[in-house]
């Protein structure tokens, strides 16, 4: 801040010109690319190479057998449900944390990050013991005829837990940036609160909401540790795709396992690209406003 006041924005057009005034571009980019290639790209390319040992028909049958298709349905379906639940409740949580004062708000705010920090296996065991029919929550669901553990519902619960911080943490900063003037203006013009939310607030936050949703979705697709404990692993019904990869590995079917892994990789990579596009869109909209 101090230097800013000493030097006025002296260099004309400094912001738009290529900023090669700063040193270290070659070094930092070079190292970034080197490390990225070494740690991420070379290992990931091993899956492609392994899959290439399969002929196309064998690859196709490996990734489209009935059991694998059923696992996609579950993994994608449960991740989608979990991400939707998180989109709705995550928005409510973010809204409450930003707009409402209540005792314990700071504590709640920091607890939101728990699923990032808690090891997934621990989360899985804890959730199973809660939602099993003799667990704290399961015993209340049982009389209602709802079985949570060992059903697709259990998988959805685990994925909701895993994905929760994503939506809250993407929407929260946007809400904080949002100037309440617009809402107050809308109200003074006679708009109802619901209209104001729909017409003024929602258009602002929905790209972020979508981003959070997509991140939670992508994370849910690959999740293993927390799900295997609560899912019950029934073929065709509660078997997630990452478990099938493990199963194939244990039958020494490396090529088959990596074939499914490649499909998962493609799915998560497209989701990530989508997220990045969304974020560009979000930020360009933001600049416009």
Residues 166-195 that bind another protein (CB under 8 A): 166, 169-170, 172-174, 176-177, 180, 183-184, 187, 193
Residue 153 in the binding site for another protein (CB under 8 A): no
Q: Segment 69-108, which members bind another protein (CB under 8 A)? A: 89, 92-93, 95-102, 106, 108
From CA 90, how far away is CA 55, in angstroms rounded? 44
CB of 165 to another protein, least distance (A): 9
CB of 42 to another protein, least distance (A): 7
Q: Segment 232-261, which members bind another protein (CB under 8 A)? A: 232-236, 241-243, 245-254, 256-258, 261
CB of 76 to another protein, least distance (A): 13
Task: Write b or e for each residue in 239-277: b if 16 or more Cβ atoms lie within 10 A of its Cβ, otherwise e.
Answer: bbbbbbbebbeeeeeeebbbbbbbbbbebeeebeeebee
Binding-site member from 83, 112, 155, 259 for another protein (CB under 8 A) = 112
Binding-site member from 58, 60, 116, 192 for another protein (CB under 8 A) = 116
Binding-site member from 119, 198, 199, 281 for another protein (CB under 8 A) = 119
Binding-site member from 32, 64, 192, 195 for another protein (CB under 8 A) = 32
Binding-site member from 73, 80, 142, 279 for another protein (CB under 8 A) = 279
Q: Total binding residues for another protein by CB under 8 A?
A: 142
In this structure, are residues 204 and 123 in contact, taking their beta carbons and an 8 Å threshold?
no
Q: Select 32 or 203, whichever has its Cβ closest to another protein.
A: 32
Closest to 78 measured CA to CA, from 272, 227, 273, 248: 227
The rounded Cα 155 to chain-centroid distance in angstroms is 16
In this structure, are residues 156 and 81 in contact, taking their beta carbons and an 8 Å threshold?
yes
The three-state secondary structure class of 200 is helix
- First and final CA of the chain: distance in angstroms? 26
- Rounded to the nearest 10°, the torsion over CA 263, 265, 270, 272 is 160
């Amino acid at each position: 801040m101090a230097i800013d006041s000493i030097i006025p924005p002296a260099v004309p057009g400094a912001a738009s010109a290529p900023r090669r005034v700063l040193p270290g571009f070659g070094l930092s980019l070079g190292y970034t690319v080197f490390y990225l290639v070494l740690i991420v790209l070379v290992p990931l390319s091993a899956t492609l190479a392994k899959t290439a040992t399969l002929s196309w028909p064998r690859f196709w049958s490996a990734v489209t057998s009935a059991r694998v298709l059923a696992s996609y349905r579950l993994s994608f379906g449960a991740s989608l449900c979990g991400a939707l639940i998180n989109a709705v409740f995550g928005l409510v949580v973010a809204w409450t944390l930003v707009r409402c004062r209540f005792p314990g708000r700071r504590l709640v705010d920091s607890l939101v990050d728990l699923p990032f920090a808690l090891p997934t296996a621990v989360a899985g065991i804890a959730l199973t013991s809660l939602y099993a029919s003799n667990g704290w929550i399961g015993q209340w669901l049982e009389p209602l005829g709802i079985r949570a553990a060992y059903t697709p519902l259990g998988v959805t619960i685990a994925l909701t837990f895993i994905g929760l911080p994503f939506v809250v943490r993407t929407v929260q900063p946007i809400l904080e940036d949002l100037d309440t003037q617009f809402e107050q203006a809308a109200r003074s013009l006679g708009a109802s609160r619901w209209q104001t939310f729909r017409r003024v607030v929602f258009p602002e936050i929905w790209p972020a909401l979508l981003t959070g949703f997509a991140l939670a979705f992508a994370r849910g697709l690959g999740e293993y540790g927390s799900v295997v404990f609560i899912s019950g692993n029934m073929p065709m019904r509660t078997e997630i795709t990452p478990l099938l990869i493990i199963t194939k590995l244990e039958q020494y079917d490396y090529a088959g396992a990596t074939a499914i892994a490649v499909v998962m990789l493609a799915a998560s990579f497209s989701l990530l690209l989508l997220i990045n596009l969304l974020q560009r869109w979000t930020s360009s909209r933001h600049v416009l406003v």
